[in-house]
Amino acid sequence: MGPAHKARDDGEGGWSMNSHPPLSVQTLNTLDRKAFTTALHFAFELSPWVVERAWDARPFASVETMHAAMMAVLDAASTADKLALIRAHPELAGKAAIAKQLTAESNAEQASAGLDKLTPDEFARFHALNAAYNTRFGFPFIICVRLNDKASILEAMAARLSNDEASEIAQAITQIGLISKLRLLDAVTH
């Protein structure tokens, strides 16, 4: 994989969760369902239902057990719910990025992999692979960009085009698990 996970913004496109004040697991355990969901809504891209359903598994001993409860929600979710979650994610270096319509989290994540500074050739390659992937599967390519760089992302996009739909749904959920875990580790203290 690409570069190691960066926990904080280094001023050069590194990751930052400054828009979410840190909360402790202990504090999160005391919140009602609505407050818990509001506090962690960012963990799963435009899909607070995952966080809301995990609330029932409280109390959590750690960020890891909280995240495991959220992943159990995803495991139990219907295929339709999983596809809705996958489709809530933006294309990498896609239309939403160009129009500056990404969530703060997606914007920082894409910038951490240099996707906000593509050469014209790189942009053309991302555009072509995004289009091919979306045509083949009907949803955007998902990868934890914070654990990759431009080259490894492009390589994975090309390689995963040969997978079947069920494999790609499973791979997307795995990658969403990595994305959400890093988001939670940045925002929640132990």
Query: Would residue 89 show up in a list of annotated catalytic residues for this protein?
Result: yes
Q: Give the contacts of 120 (CB within 8 A, at least 6 positions apart).
A: none
DSSP calls for 87-106:
HTSPPTTSHHHHTT-S-HHH
Residue 23 DSSP class: E
Q: Give the contacts of 37 (CB within 8 A, at least 6 positions apart).
A: 48, 51, 52, 55
- Give, to the nearest 10 degrees, the angle between helix 150-160 and helix 120-137: 30
Burial grade of 149 (CB within 10 A; 0-12, 13-18, 19 or more): middle
Catalytic residue among 41, 67, 89, 127: 89
Q: What are 74's two structure tokens?
A: 């995803």
Active site residues: 89
